[in-house]
Amino acid sequence: MTRRERKERRAESRREWAEGREQKAAALERQNEPFRGDYAFNTQPGHIPERARANRRSERAFEHQKMAAHHRERAAGIEDQLDRTVFSDDEDAVERLEARIAEREAEREKRKAANAAWRKAGKPGLNGTDEDRAGWEKVAAAIGAAWAANARRGLMHQGRSDSGTWVPYSWAKPFDLTNLGASIRRDQKRLEELRQAAAS
From 53, 84, 115, the end of a domain falls on 84
Provide the pLDDT for residue 170.
41
How open is the CA angle 154-159-164, to the nearest 5 degrees?
Answer: 120
Question: Quick one: 98 and 75 in the same domain?
Answer: no
Instruction: Specify whether 74 is located in the same domain as 106.
Output: no
Q: What percent of the chain has pLDDT over 90?
A: 48
Taking the complete model, does pTM exceed 0.85, yes or no?
Answer: no
Mean pLDDT in order along the chain per 10 residues (200 residues): 92 97 96 81 81 91 97 96 90 92 93 89 83 89 88 69 49 76 94 87
User: What digits encode the pLDDT tens for the residues 117-135?
Assistant: 988 888 887 777 888 889 8
| C-alpha angle 112-186-110 in degrees, rounded to nearest 5 | 15
H or E segment at 25? helix 3-32
Split into its structural domains, the chain has a count of 2
Element containing residue 131 per DSSP (H, E): helix 130-143
| Contacts for 154 with CB less than 8 Å, ≥ 6 apart | 173, 174, 175, 176
Phi, psi of 162 (to 5 degrees): -115, 110
Whether residues 108 and 132 fall in one domain: yes
pLDDT value for 154: 75
Question: The domain containing residue 173 runs over which residues?
Answer: 93-178
Please enumerate in sequence order all residues whose Cβ is within 8 A of that of 27, keeping only pairs 6 or more positions apart, or say none: none
Nearest to 151 by CA among 163, 142, 160: 142
**Burial class for 28, CB neighbours closer than 10 Å (0-12, 13-18, 19+):** buried
